[in-house]
Structure 1
Amino acid sequence: MKLSDYLAKELILPELESATKSDVLNELVAPLGVQYPEMDTDHAVRVLLDRERLGSTGIGDGIAIPHGKLEDLEKVIVVVGRSRKGVEFEALDHAPCTIFFLVLAPEQVAGMHLRVLAQISRLLKDEEFRKAFLSADDLEGLWALLKSV
């Protein structure tokens, strides 16, 4: 299983503009409305915010992995974002988040959802990968990096 199986170049945001958790979630979900016009992006954001109320998906080391399940989704989708300035995301280590991997999964495929989250977690534990991610010049650089894992 490769991460790029769940990711499209159009779903990589190399420079997030948002400064708050809810705005980041909206910004990460926005390109899904273009890629998947049938998706109710407002509902997707509400699902993500509901999940955040259970506990922050900011896991530390500048990483957040917001995730949720949607009934009408047919496959797991990953959206990747980067914020060079960092966003207060109520992370476990209280540090701003700079690396965002958003995962949306169909309601009925819990196993795949968990495997994708585990793969992302393993990848982001690698300090060299995090450095390469943060130092990639642009969308092309991020896409090349993400396709390689």
Structure 2
Amino acid sequence: MDLSDLINVPAIMPALKANSKKQLLQLLSERAAAISGIAEREVFDTILQRERLGSTGVGNGIAIPHGKLAGVKRIAGVFARLETPVDFEALDDQPVDLVFLLLAPEGAGADHLKALSRIARVLRDADTVAKIRGTRDAVAIHALLSDTQASHAA
């Protein structure tokens, strides 16, 4: 499973401005709704419900909010690079500036977990993360997320 299968260039927000975790999740839900055709409120409520179980801020300024929705046809994501990091109640208490929102169909058990694992692996690569933080170009970010796949597959 390549990240290029999960995300396309229109789903990348390379210079997002958000003042809080809630606003960030709302903006990501808006973009996810536009891409998936699922109601924005439904996406937001699902993601918020998952956050109540525990923050999806995984550390090092990275968060991977995720959820399963009945209307989602295939696993898909939205990526944001924030202009200014926001408090995300992350595991390491560091503010978050890179966020990969993942939505999956309700029955996508193992595939959902594989996608989360793939995202986490790519965003653990310090070089990739540094390059993503250094650009405001959606095409470049997409290429970085996708290119990492080749080096991890080798």
Amino acid at match of 1:134: R
Amino acid at match of 1:50: Q
How far, CA to CA, are the matches of 2:121 and 2:30 in structure 1?
26
Amino acid at match of 1:18: A
Amino acid at match of 2:95: P
User: Which residue of structure 2 lines up, in the alignment, with residue 61 of structure 1?
Assistant: 60
How far, CA to CA, are the matches of 1:33 and 1:76 in structure 2?
13
Shift of 1:89: 0.4
CA contact (8 A) 1:57 1:91 kept: yes
User: Which residue of structure 2 lines up, in the alignment, with residue 3 of structure 1?
Assistant: 3
SS of the equivalent of 1:33 reads helix
CA contact (8 A) 1:44 1:70 kept: yes
Give TM-score, length-normalised by structure 1.
0.94
How far, CA to CA, are the matches of 2:43 and 2:92 in structure 1?
26
- Gaps of at least 5 residues in structure 1 are none
CA contact (8 A) 2:18 2:84 kept: no
Q: Percent identity?
A: 37
Shift of 1:19: 1.3
User: Which residue of structure 1 lines up, in the alignment, with residue 112 of structure 2?
Assistant: 113
Shift of 1:129: 1.1
- Gaps of at least 5 residues in structure 2 are 150-154
User: Which residue of structure 1 lines up, in the alignment, with residue 103 of structure 2?
Assistant: 104
Shift of 1:56: 0.3
> Any idea what the Cα deviations from partners look like across 1:50-83, whole Å, max 9, x if unmatched?
1111100001100000000001111001110011
Amino acid at match of 1:14: P
- Pairing of 1:1-149 with structure 2 (within 5 A): 1-37=1-37, 39-148=38-147, 149=149
CA contact (8 A) 1:84 1:134 kept: no
CA contact (8 A) 1:7 1:77 kept: yes
Shift of 1:43: 1.0
CA contact (8 A) 1:67 1:103 kept: yes
Amino acid at match of 1:110: G
Structure 1 stretches (4+) deviating beyond 4 angstroms?
Answer: none
CA contact (8 A) 1:14 1:81 kept: yes
